[in-house]
């Protein structure tokens, strides 16, 4: 599949710069795969759209890992913590200006240990992360409340970005649903852009995940499973293919993929030429996803991390 097949036209003003005033006030585009029916709802209506689905969420917590630092020369530098490597302060990180930086250089509390390629570094951080929420570059407005870049059920710290489909839930809405939890720490794979013309040539580095035996027993036995977000999909489908209950997943979901445990998908509207959009196309259909995105643009849905949501049944 060509990466150009993941292109679509999006007016810049539809890129949400801030979350909705109330989480569940976001809009919800509902698509039934068997009938082709589309409904326009509010996220608070989600329980009315579900039948017997077990709702599986990713309970990872975003690390305040965007560190704005200065070099010893006085120049500006930035480090984005991507994944914690051990309990001794070693992290994988993205650093810039990467080409000017050198192994052994100190950037305040950060020591650059070695290059990993593609602006990736192994670094040492002398204390727990005390930076800013790592908002995507397309969000240009400051975030008044950092908790709005966390889900209400976030528990396990370790992510470099939020599992954004979950940002719409409120505690009250969660209480109305049958919910089970898994953990995938969002890292480089989730937000790394495609840099190849053919999707199959894109390389995934893998992300850490964990599921308790009790949670997997419920998920495996459920009549229907609703995966909240693409990260949850990757966990469930990894284990459904014989993966361990904890480890790393490099599962790459492209059109033609056979879903073994995910029966419905709740997701936000994703960037063009992204592996996330490819996953949605794999689940909903390539032509169908293009039409749904065209409709979402025409109906003025809000896109990306702080935007609206889509439910594919």
Q: Is there a contact between 169 and 44 (Cβ–Cβ < 8 Å)?
A: no
Angle between the N-to-C axes of helices 286-298 and 275-284, in degrees from 0 to 180, rounded to the nearest 10: 110
DSSP state of 100: G
* Cβ within 8 Å of residue 192, ≥6 positions away: 205, 275
Q: Helix or strand or coil: residue 283?
A: helix
- Start-to-end CA span in the chain (Å): 24
Task: List the structure tokens of 195.
Answer: 């840099």
* pLDDT at res. 191: 62
pLDDT in tens, 205-264: 789 999 999 999 999 999 999 999 999 999 999 999 999 999 999 999 999 999 999 999
Q: Is there a contact between 121 and 92 (Cβ–Cβ < 8 Å)?
A: yes
Q: Of the candidates 227, 149, 150, 231, which has an alpha carbon nearest to the alpha carbon of residue 183?
A: 231
Pairwise CA distance, residues 196 & 180, whole Å: 36
Task: List the structure tokens of 289.
Answer: 């996803």
Cβ burial, residue 40 (10 Å; 0-12/13-18/19+):
middle
pTM for the whole structure: 0.95
Q: Is there a contact between 285 and 13 (Cβ–Cβ < 8 Å)?
A: no
User: b/e map of 50-76 (b: 16 or more CB within 10 Å)?
Assistant: beebbbbbbbbbbbbbbbebebeeeee
* pLDDT at res. 236: 98
Q: Is there a contact between 79 and 107 (Cβ–Cβ < 8 Å)?
A: yes
* pLDDT at res. 204: 80
pLDDT in tens, the chain (313 residues): 888 899 999 999 999 999 999 999 999 999 999 999 999 999 999 999 999 899 999 999 999 999 999 998 899 999 999 999 999 999 999 999 998 999 999 999 999 999 998 889 999 999 999 999 999 989 998 899 999 999 999 999 999 999 999 999 999 999 999 999 999 999 876 667 777 888 888 888 789 999 999 999 999 999 999 999 999 999 999 999 999 999 999 999 999 999 999 999 999 999 999 999 999 999 999 999 999 999 999 999 999 999 999 999 9
* pLDDT at res. 138: 93
* pLDDT at res. 117: 86
Residue with tokens 């002398």: 126
* pLDDT at res. 190: 66
Q: Is there a contact between 96 and 112 (Cβ–Cβ < 8 Å)?
A: no
Q: Which domains does the chain have, with CATH numbers?
A: 3-62+134-312 (3.40.1780.10), 66-125 (2.40.10.240)
* pLDDT at res. 163: 96
In Å, the largest CA–CA distance within the chain is 63
């Amino acid at each position: 599949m060509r990466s150009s097949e993941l292109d679509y036209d999006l007016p810049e003003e539809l890129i949400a710069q801030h979350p909705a005033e109330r989480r569940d006030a976001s809009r919800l585009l509902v698509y039934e795969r068997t009938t082709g029916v589309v409904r326009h709802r509010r996220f608070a209506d989600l329980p009315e759209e579900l039948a017997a689905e077990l709702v599986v969420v990713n309970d990872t917590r975003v690390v305040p890992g965007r560190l704005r630092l200065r070099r010893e020369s006085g120049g500006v530098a930035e480090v984005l913590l991507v994944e914690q490597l051990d309990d001794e302060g070693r992290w994988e990180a993205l650093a810039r200006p990467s080409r000017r930086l050198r192994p052994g250089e100190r950037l305040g509390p950060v020591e650059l240990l070695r290059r990993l390629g593609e602006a990736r570094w192994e670094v040492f951080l002398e204390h727990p992360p005390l930076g800013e929420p790592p908002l995507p570059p397309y969000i240009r407005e400051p975030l008044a409340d950092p908790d709005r870049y966390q889900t209400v059920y976030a528990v396990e710290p370790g992510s470099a970005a939020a599992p954004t489909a979950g940002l719409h839930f409120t505690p009250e809405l969660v209480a109305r649903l049958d919910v089970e939890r898994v953990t995938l720490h969002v890292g480089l794979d989730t937000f790394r852009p495609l840099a190849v013309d053919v999707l199959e040539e894109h390389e995934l580095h893998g992300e850490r995940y964990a599921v308790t035996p009790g949670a997997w027993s419920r998920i495996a036995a459920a009549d229907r499973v609703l995966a909240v977000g693409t990260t949850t999909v990757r966990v469930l489908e990894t284990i459904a293919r014989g993966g361990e209950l904890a480890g790393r997943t490099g599962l790459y979901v492209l059109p033609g993929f056979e879903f073994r445990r995910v029966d419905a998908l709740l997701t936000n509207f994703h960037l063009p030429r992204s592996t996330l959009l490819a996953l949605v196309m794999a689940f909903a259909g390539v032509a169908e996803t293009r039409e749904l995105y065209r409709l979402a643009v025409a109906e003025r849905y809000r896109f990306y991390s702080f935007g609206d949501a889509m439910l594919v049944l």
